[in-house]
Structure 1
Amino acid sequence: MPESPHANTIWTVVGFTAYPWEHALASLRLVEPIQQAGLRFIQGNLYDQVFLETISAADLVVIQRDFPRWLDAYLEVIARTRAARVPLVYEVDDLLLELPETHPDVAIHYYTPALLPMLHAILAADALTVTTPALAETLRPLNQSIWVLPNYLTDRLWPLREPVPRPAGTKVVLGYVGSDTHQPDLEYVAPALTRLLERFDGRLALRFWGSEPPPALRTHPAVEATPLQILDYAKFAGYFSTLQADLFIAPLVDSNFNRCKSSIKYLEYSASATPGVYSRVPPYEMVVKHGVNGFLASTPQEWESCLARLIEDQALRCEMGRRAQATVREGWLLSQHAHEWAEAYRQVQVSLQAQRTSRQKQAYLQLIARVACQARRYQDSLVDRVARQEGAAAELAARLEQSQRELQEISGSRAWRLIQDLWRLRLALIPHGSRRERLVTWLLERMMAMRSQH
């Protein structure tokens, strides 16, 4: 490979994401760490509108998560990046290629159009950056060049604060903050939460921010849900700091997908020195010391037991919350670790000079790109077919509505009322099945026969 004109120096990074730039995913993984690392960051797109001219200023290009869903735009970015001879990094923080069947996004096929393009990005990238060792090991067979850059707490947005004392005699508030994609995780702990509400009747309240409670709890008088539509991560951090909760939960069903997730929820909960109970899965096992700075639980019985201890013991809540916050302060602040992004990118650039993409790999990438294009065209044809069918259904619905209005007009008219009166009179004079009806029918038939003869 020819030497890059930007060799051995990373100053400007151009990023491409499928999300608004103020969104948590873009903020946590691109904007904040890159800028705090002292690098210049340029936004390379706004949804599927790409600004290809930005690549000419790039020392490194980063593509995030499902940006490749916009296949044409993505392939243009790949081509322009290769032409500029700068490193290409694919950034992903979830195992999106292996969503569990119970994940809500599977039911709506949200990521389905992006799967082949994302696979292409994993294989085409000069390096991957991921959030956890588990995710790195899962993706390593597809791309050997992987750097683990953990999620850290953006302390510029999340100042560590002292816990606010709760007035004596108030209910203990058990909270959860997250999106509706975690419904399967919440349903997993619902039995334990139900038993706790019975056990601490009148002393415990459950608060859900951003997600609906599990179905079994939605009508309980001690359960409250607050919808959240805050896409701006900075605004979300500010809103979070106003929440009043004595303890938090972070359940995750044990699956390969969840094992690859990060501990960001622990960091956000702990910023306010609030203790919590977390699933005993790798993302939380790497930061939670059971019984010291949090609790780990893997069965409904363990969930109930750990939560009950925190509900009953205010001193334990305060001490565990302070230890959790100390854990974050001592090793999980972005300001302490932003330099890792600059170091990883420089290593990518250095290692790239010794790499050469094989003809076989190029053939694989070209094949995947062609298959992805065919799949996209087929998907577009299905969308078009559905749109036509929906149009036809809308037209039929409009005709039906018009017919119903006409029937209503007829049924309310004087002529229709007269017809109904005449029909009732006919039934009174000539009842159904009567000899009189048979006689009238015979006379009418005879009259019709005589008329046809003439």
Structure 2
Amino acid sequence: MNRMKPERKLRILTVCQGETPSTHIRLYDPLGRMEQAGRLQWRKAYLASLSRADLDWADLILLQRLDNPAGFDAIEIAHLYGKPVIYDTDDNWVDPPPEYHPAYVYHSSILVRNTVERYLSKADLVTVSTPALAEAFSRFQDRILVVPNTVDFEPPEPPGREGPCVRIGYAGTRTHDGDFEVVVPALVRLRREFGKRIALVFLGCLPPGLDASEVELWGFSDDYKGYLARLCRLGIQIALAPLRDNPFNRFKSNIKYLEYTLAGAAGVYSRSPAYEGSVQDRITGLLVPHTEEAWYEAVKSLVQEPFLRKRLAAAARRDVAERFPPERTRQAWESAFSTAAREAAGRGRSRAALPSGPRKRKKVLYIGSGFLWPHTYIDEFLVRAFSSLGLEVAFCPLVPTPFYEQTVALYSRFDDRFRESTLLRSLDTVTSKFGVRWVRGGRGVCDPAKV
């Protein structure tokens, strides 16, 4: 009697440039659980050491937050052998982040943003953390699936008795320094008013404007589970989640709500899209306008009302357990894998049916100056103009280091009006030579919709 061989489990290869909390939240934790349950096989790789053997092993390639063009070869190989490719991200790196963000200079480069756009368009499926992010990326890809963030962690039971002072805290990175501009003055006022009856606790960073000698400052753990365990041990009773209203923050997820709730804290959140869809004001947390006075009054009310703190924290725990269970993310990934496989199969049939001859979508190799001003503005204009014409643009920068240093020193001697006039003359020369009309947009960058 012949025995049927067991069906081989789906092999998932995740590729990232480096591990971040997002990598653990969105990939490692859910895929690890799914592998333990026998639902798939999973292997992780880093872009710098990605090998052909990794690609041969995988049935599906899952790229996360890549902004380096080195991954394009992997996509081409995967597509050549009919393997689906998913691109996952939980931030909007297509548009520049706010100027206070540590990655502002890097992600303001047209090279980086154009690379992200190409990943979005080349993948068989794009997965994101929020519906707002899916809508923002719809101009690059029509196959987008929301895989929500959830936290797979068993928190300890909250302490039965509170300590002698109310612990007010924040857990996060320097990327939110600008979000704390209105919160720091409110905390200084509260510290002056309540003295030692409150304690300020920060995990990961200390926002500018606070005295390090007057706060508890804790470093991050090496892994995400260790970070969550430390957050829970700190005994924070009032947790802060400020977000300024800007285009970058509008695409953020509610991850702080999930983490603070697991830590047993009552959260105060900026009234922003990241939290308005999940936090119920005065039921599972406090939603406040992003002003100093609003933050001061909200935190003060929780300091003075222990019953309200406990009620909000308990309600939030029930809410997260019911609406944001980790299984929700795992089910979304299974749906994503099935969708990507169907798209890859359809792409293979379409490719076989195409007649021989030139491809309909032409490519442009644009060799630019990279990060040299004012050429970055010209690069931005031309890349956007080519893209608006339906051309796929591969941007290749040339940055000779000695010339770059000399140019920076040279341009630092001139004021903005000189730079502006130089830019306008350069654009006029380039566009008139090629018979292209250009329209000036914000900050001298052209709007492709007007070209």
Gaps of 5+ in 2: 1-7, 367-382, 384-390, 409-451
Partner of 1:41: 42
Partner of 2:416: none
Choose which of 116, 122, 125 in structure 1 pairs with 2:123: 125
* Mapped pair 1:63 → 2:50: no
Choose which of 259, 264, 267 in structure 2 pairs with 1:276: 267
Name the SS of the counterpart of 2:98 in structure 1: coil
* Mapped pair 1:93 → 2:115: no
Choose which of 224, 237, 245 in structure 2 pairs with 1:233: 224
Distance across 2 between alignment mates of 1:162 and 1:229:
22
Deviations 1:366-417 (A, max 9, x none): 7789964521xx14x3389769x9xxxxxxxxxxxxxxxxxxxxxxxxxxxx
Cα distance, 1:118–1:346 mapped onto 2, change above 3 Å:
same
Partner of 2:178: 184
Query: What's the CA shift for 1:100?
Result: 2.9
Query: What's the CA shift for 1:39?
Result: 2.0
Deviations 1:222-261 (A, max 9, x none): 43333x2434212222222221211100001111211111
* Mapped pair 1:288 → 2:286: no
CA contact (8 A) 2:64 2:89 kept: yes
Query: What's the CA shift for 1:108?
Result: 4.7
Partner of 2:412: none
Distance across 1 between alignment mates of 2:92 and 2:72:
22
Partner of 1:302: 294
CA contact (8 A) 1:269 1:275 kept: yes
CA contact (8 A) 1:247 1:310 kept: yes
CA contact (8 A) 1:14 1:55 kept: yes
Partner of 1:254: 245
Distance across 1 between alignment mates of 2:123 and 2:9:
17
* Mapped pair 1:328 → 2:320: yes
Gaps of 5+ in 1: 1-8, 390-454
Partner of 1:53: 53
Choose which of 163, 181, 190 in structure 1 pairs with 2:158: 163
Deviations 1:339-370 (A, max 9, x none): 22011210222244345479777424877899
Distance across 2 between alignment mates of 1:80 and 1:28:
28
Name the SS of the counterpart of 1:104 in structure 2: coil
Normalising by structure 1, report the TM-score: 0.73
Query: For residue 54 of structure 1, what is the amino acid of its counterpart?
Result: D
Name the SS of the counterpart of 2:181 in structure 1: helix
* Mapped pair 1:31 → 2:22: no
Counterparts of 1:295-374 in structure 2, within 5 Å, are 295-300=286-291, 301-355=293-347, 356=350, 362-364=361-363, 372=394, 374=396
Cα distance, 1:24–1:384 mapped onto 2, change above 3 Å:
farther
Distance across 1 between alignment mates of 2:360 and 2:230:
47
Query: What's the CA shift for 1:175?
Result: 0.2
CA contact (8 A) 2:147 2:329 kept: no
Name the SS of the counterpart of 2:159 in structure 1: coil
Deviations 1:18-61 (A, max 9, x none): 113xx422211222222333221122x33411122222232211
Name the SS of the counterpart of 1:308 in structure 2: helix
CA contact (8 A) 2:125 2:339 kept: no
Name the SS of the counterpart of 1:103 in structure 2: coil
Cα distance, 1:160–1:101 mapped onto 2, change above 3 Å:
closer
Distance across 2 between alignment mates of 1:281 and 1:167:
30
Query: For residue 322 of structure 1, what is the amino acid of its counterpart?
Result: A
Choose which of 225, 235, 238 in structure 2 pairs with 1:244: 235
Query: What's the CA shift for 1:107?
Result: 4.7
Q: Which has the higher contact order (CA 8 A, sep 6+)?
A: 1
Counterparts of 1:430-441 in structure 2, within 5 Å, are none
Query: For residue 150 of structure 2, what is the amino acid of its counterpart?
Result: Y
Cα distance, 1:365–1:373 mapped onto 2, change above 3 Å:
closer
Cα distance, 1:241–1:167 mapped onto 2, change above 3 Å:
closer
Query: What's the CA shift for 1:200?
Result: 2.1
Query: What's the CA shift for 1:167?
Result: 4.6
Partner of 1:76: 73
CA contact (8 A) 1:65 1:90 kept: yes
Query: For residue 188 of structure 1, what is the amino acid of its counterpart?
Result: V
Distance across 2 between alignment mates of 1:81 and 1:174:
49
Counterparts of 1:133-144 in structure 2, within 5 Å, are 133-144=131-142
Number of positions where the alignment pairs a residue of Structure 1 with one of Structure 2: 365
Distance across 2 between alignment mates of 1:128 and 1:214:
36
CA contact (8 A) 2:63 2:87 kept: yes
Normalising by structure 2, report the TM-score: 0.74
Distance across 1 between alignment mates of 2:28 and 2:312:
32
Deviations 1:278-334 (A, max 9, x none): 111111111100000101011323222221111101111111111111111112121
Query: What's the CA shift for 1:74?
Result: 1.0
Bigger radius of gyration among the two: 1
Distance across 2 between alignment mates of 1:34 and 1:365:
37
Distance across 1 between alignment mates of 2:294 and 2:180:
15
Cα distance, 1:107–1:54 mapped onto 2, change above 3 Å:
closer
Name the SS of the counterpart of 2:202 in structure 1: strand
Query: What's the CA shift for 1:160?
Result: 2.8
Query: More displaced, 141-150 or 10-19?
Result: 10-19
Distance across 2 between alignment mates of 1:167 and 1:15:
43
CA contact (8 A) 2:31 2:330 kept: yes
Partner of 1:18: 17
Distance across 1 between alignment mates of 2:297 and 2:207:
21
